A and B are shown apart, each in its own frame.
Chain A
Amino acid sequence: MRVTNQSLSQQVTEGMQLAFRRLAKVQESAATGKRINRLSDDGLGAVQALDLRSFSTSLDQYARNIESAIPLLEQTDASLTDVTNVIDRAQKLAVTLASDSYSASDRQAGTAEVREVLQQLLSVANTKLDGRYIFAGFKNDQAAFTDTGAGVVYNGDSGEITTTSGPSASVTVNLPGNQVLRGAGGTGGVDLFDVLNDLLTALTTNDVNGANGVQTQIGRLDRAREQVVEARTKVGARINTAEAAQESLDIMQVRAKSLRSQVEDADAIQVYSDLARQQSAFEAALQSASRVIQPSLIDYLR
């Protein structure tokens, strides 16, 4: 094929342009550390990277949700321990006062301490965390229980608050007070406030062995303790599930980030070797250009 000055210089220019363009592209990857700097670099890869990024964000959200749930669950557990202590204290009192070596007036004197125990229970039942009453169900902006003087009233509801701990997993973070402390929502539940009040009555009326006597209340306190243990087991299980979920989220997050890096990050070694290669290709293009466009017949005529 006949070659003309224009076609030769066109070819030389295009060669330099191509080398330069390739060099610029590799330099971009070297500077940003990313293989994909715009959608058209790799349409499918760009979408995958965006998707993985969103997935990582959702994993972070689940982790945040669990982090807000665990303190609540742990506080519930701690408070239930306090309730168990209250039950123990009440029961010890009751057992002591039920013994024959105590008189009616001793029993009457014992009611003061029982009243203290009742107040302690009320205080624990109205535990607040982050400004919310943990045993009030949904109605957590007000005290769960109030002592009206004529008895203790539950102001909360049976609402169970959940939070999302995974793509299709959730954790219940509270225990409604009426269930664990009043025995609602189940069969054979015991109302602990009731029991303490009945104990007060029994001591006042010196009723030890009657139908509602001190001995009966001791039995009911046993049942109450079991109720609390059941609740603590439930809460403990939730804490374990939440912590396990946290671990598995961590693992998923590492994998998600690693996958995303594989898709969108530039392989550093590859990039630097490409850079060196394109640089020398570009220099070769320049050198050969200078060799080819300069000589002419004019240099040799006469």
Chain B
Amino acid sequence: MSILSTLYIGRNALGAHQQAIQTTGHNIANVGTPGFSRQRVELASARPVTLGRISFGRGVAVDGIRRVVSDFFETQLLNVNSHVGFSEAHNRALAGVEAAFPTSGGIPSALDDFFGALSDLANNPGGQAERVNLIGKTNALGESLAQTRTILSNAQAQLDKDLDVAVQRVNDLLPRIATLNQQIATSEVGGQTANDLRDQRQVLLQELSHLTGATVQQNDDGQALALVNGLLLVSGDQAAKLDDSTLNSAGLRVISYESPNGITADVTTIVTSGEIGGLIAARDTDVPATLGELDRLAKTLVDAVNAQHALGFDLNGVAGGNFFAPIATVAGAAAQVKVASTVAADPRLIATAQTAAGVPGDNGNALALANVQSANQVALGNTTLRHYFLALVGEVGAKTQASENSLTFQQTLLSETQARRESASGVNLDEELTNLVLFQRAFQAASVLVRTGDEMYQTILEMVK
């Protein structure tokens, strides 16, 4: 019996170390797998057997295979991922807005040229060339404004498309997480942990958090619950759905949520973190603000110039009509700045004189028109056209700068958190190789034990021949 137990010990050792080698191999194979948590075979000495006063050890037993993971780091990582998702999307969007405003030329230059052309006209109010030049510079200003507006609204449309891609990605993730929940529940029925399934689920949850800022709660039965601002995304094997096929009055997507039991709601203002939150913030707050300011500038320019123009007299001694084609509302104004068709057809209608009798040498109204450049406009909060635009540009620059700083900070934080997670759960090849050597030697030694046991049996059998 004692030889048998030696053989048993040898056999169990062979088995245990074989499992250890296999687990080590699993770790080595997954050294580059993102989100992988290294696994350790829990070796414990088997329960000893007591005979009289002597306790006999019975070798090694495998207690289980444990996944080395820190829930604290995993939760931290989810949190940071959500912020990074937001910052990346938001910063990318703001960079698109910034691209509409070059650091030289652009709208300020076009405005200066427009008012310069008015000044030149004031120096020769009877001249035809100066009038034609003014019309040219006016059209250039209109084009500059319209082009900038187009870049901004294209940026908004692109954000809308990016939003759709993100929503589709979420809809792809949610059922997969729910399926994994189910699979984990099934595999863990016998009491062992489904290590690799949990790793896979964690990877999906990280991506979900990156996209939506979702928080995760673990049940006692190992099920993961994913929520966004109180909205249930995944619960057990039930997954919700996001739908973005409806458009709002501006032609942009509305995000609706459908719970697993079919209840729907508009959640466009509720998902405020993660990539989707960042895209919505840029699409619905930042870009419209800049568009609105640009439109207000355009409308105020047109109104102020037209008002002054009406006070003057043209080369025919007739009171000035509209210089710009009038614009009805602020919304979309920046795309509608152009010379009135009557003036474009007949430049003599530009009202340069202050009195009808003073035509053609009277340049009083032309001077007044040029002075609109430095007049404080009530519609812009009592500031000049140029200063209003510079404030707009300054705001864009400051917001973009701030979002870049935020992104850098979040990315650094992500790096550090990932490093900490890796330090707990990651695979170090040198460590695994060392273990491999250890387990291999143990396996070899155990096989020697089995051979020794066998030789002991031979010896006894020969003894009684």
Taking a contact as CB atoms under 8 Å apart, the answer to whether B358 and A130 are in contact is: no
Residue of B104, B115, B360, B396 near A140 (CB, 8 A) is B360
Cβ–Cβ < 8 Å partners of A301 in chain B: 433, 437
Q: A46-B393, A50-B103, A164-B367 are in contact. Are A140 and B108 (CB under 8 A)?
A: no
Within B95-124, the residues touching A (CB, 8 Å) are 95, 98-99, 101, 103-104, 108-109, 111-113, 115-116, 119-120, 122-124
A43 located at the interface, meaning its Cβ lies under 8 Å from any Cβ of chain B in the complex: yes
Taking a contact as CB atoms under 8 Å apart, the answer to whether B427 and A164 are in contact is: no
- Which of A6, A58, A64, A164: most chain B Cβ within 10 A? A6
Cβ–Cβ < 8 Å partners of B400 in chain A: 39-40, 43
A67 closest partner in B (C-beta):
B123
B430 located at the interface, meaning its Cβ lies under 8 Å from any Cβ of chain A in the complex: yes
In the assembly, what is the distance between CA of A46 and CA of B400, in Å? 13
A276 located at the interface, meaning its Cβ lies under 8 Å from any Cβ of chain B in the complex: no
Cβ–Cβ < 8 Å partners of A130 in chain B: 124
**Distance in Å: Cβ of A153 to nearest Cβ of chain B:** 17
In the assembly, what is the distance between CA of A38 and CA of B103, in Å? 6
Cβ–Cβ < 8 Å partners of A34 in chain B: 103
Taking a contact as CB atoms under 8 Å apart, the answer to whether B123 and A39 are in contact is: no
B168 located at the interface, meaning its Cβ lies under 8 Å from any Cβ of chain A in the complex: no
A103 located at the interface, meaning its Cβ lies under 8 Å from any Cβ of chain B in the complex: no
Q: A68-B123, A140-B361, A141-B360 are in contact. Are A39 and B98 (CB under 8 A)?
A: yes
Taking a contact as CB atoms under 8 Å apart, the answer to whether A40 and B397 are in contact is: yes
Q: A10-B415, A38-B98, A163-B123 are in contact. Are A137 and B104 (CB under 8 A)?
A: no
B151 located at the interface, meaning its Cβ lies under 8 Å from any Cβ of chain A in the complex: no
In the assembly, what is the distance between CA of A183 and CA of B177, in Å? 99
Q: Mark A47-74, 1 if CB is under 8 A from B, else 0.
A: 1011101100110110011001100000
Taking a contact as CB atoms under 8 Å apart, the answer to whether A297 and B423 are in contact is: no
B430 closest partner in A (C-beta):
A297
B99 closest partner in A (C-beta):
A38
Q: A2-B424, A7-B422, A138-B362 are in contact. Are A43 and B397 (CB under 8 A)?
A: yes
Tell me the total A-B contact number using a CB cutoff of 8 A.
168
B357 located at the interface, meaning its Cβ lies under 8 Å from any Cβ of chain A in the complex: yes
Q: A38-B98, A39-B393, A296-B429 are in contact. Are A4 and B119 (CB under 8 A)?
A: no
Cβ–Cβ < 8 Å partners of B423 in chain A: 1-4, 7
Cβ–Cβ < 8 Å partners of B126 in chain A: 132, 140-141
Within A154-203, the residues touching B (CB, 8 Å) are 157, 159, 161-164, 167, 170, 174
Taking a contact as CB atoms under 8 Å apart, the answer to whether A2 and B122 are in contact is: no
Taking a contact as CB atoms under 8 Å apart, the answer to whether A138 and B434 are in contact is: no
Taking a contact as CB atoms under 8 Å apart, the answer to whether A157 and B104 are in contact is: no
**Distance in Å: Cβ of A75 to nearest Cβ of chain B:** 15
B32 closest partner in A (C-beta):
A6
B401 located at the interface, meaning its Cβ lies under 8 Å from any Cβ of chain A in the complex: yes
Q: A39-B101, A46-B397, A298-B433 are in contact. Are A5 and B361 (CB under 8 A)?
A: no
- Which of A137, A138, A139: most chain B Cβ within 10 A? A138
In the assembly, what is the distance between CA of A51 and CA of B374, in Å? 13
**Distance in Å: Cβ of B90 to nearest Cβ of chain A:** 13
Name B's interface SS.
Answer: helix
In the assembly, what is the distance between CA of A162 and CA of B419, in Å? 73
B370 located at the interface, meaning its Cβ lies under 8 Å from any Cβ of chain A in the complex: yes
Taking a contact as CB atoms under 8 Å apart, the answer to whether A139 and B419 are in contact is: no
In the assembly, what is the distance between CA of A1 and CA of B103, in Å? 46
Q: Mark A15-58, 1 if CB is under 8 A from B, else 0.
A: 00000000000000000001011111011101101110110011
A40 closest partner in B (C-beta):
B400
Taking a contact as CB atoms under 8 Å apart, the answer to whether A4 and B437 are in contact is: no
Q: A37-B103, A53-B109 are in contact. Are A297 and B433 (CB under 8 A)?
A: yes
B118 closest partner in A (C-beta):
A61
In the assembly, what is the distance between CA of A50 and CA of B111, in Å? 12
Residue of A39, A140, A167, A298 near B103 (CB, 8 A) is A39
Cβ–Cβ < 8 Å partners of B393 in chain A: 39, 46-47, 50
A94 located at the interface, meaning its Cβ lies under 8 Å from any Cβ of chain B in the complex: no
B289 located at the interface, meaning its Cβ lies under 8 Å from any Cβ of chain A in the complex: no
**Distance in Å: Cβ of A203 to nearest Cβ of chain B:** 37
B234 located at the interface, meaning its Cβ lies under 8 Å from any Cβ of chain A in the complex: no
**Distance in Å: Cβ of A156 to nearest Cβ of chain B:** 9
List, sorted by A's number, 15 A–B pairs whose CB atoms are closer than 8 Å. A2-B426, A4-B426, A5-B428, A11-B415, A36-B103, A40-B98, A47-B394, A50-B393, A139-B358, A140-B360, A161-B361, A164-B122, A170-B367, A174-B361, A296-B429
Q: Which 3 residue pairs spanning A and B have beta carbons closest together?
A: A4-B426, A43-B397, A39-B397
Besides A2-B423, A4-B426, A64-B119, 12 other A-B contacts (C-beta < 8 A): A3-B422, A4-B427, A14-B415, A40-B397, A50-B104, A50-B393, A53-B108, A54-B386, A141-B126, A159-B361, A163-B363, A296-B430
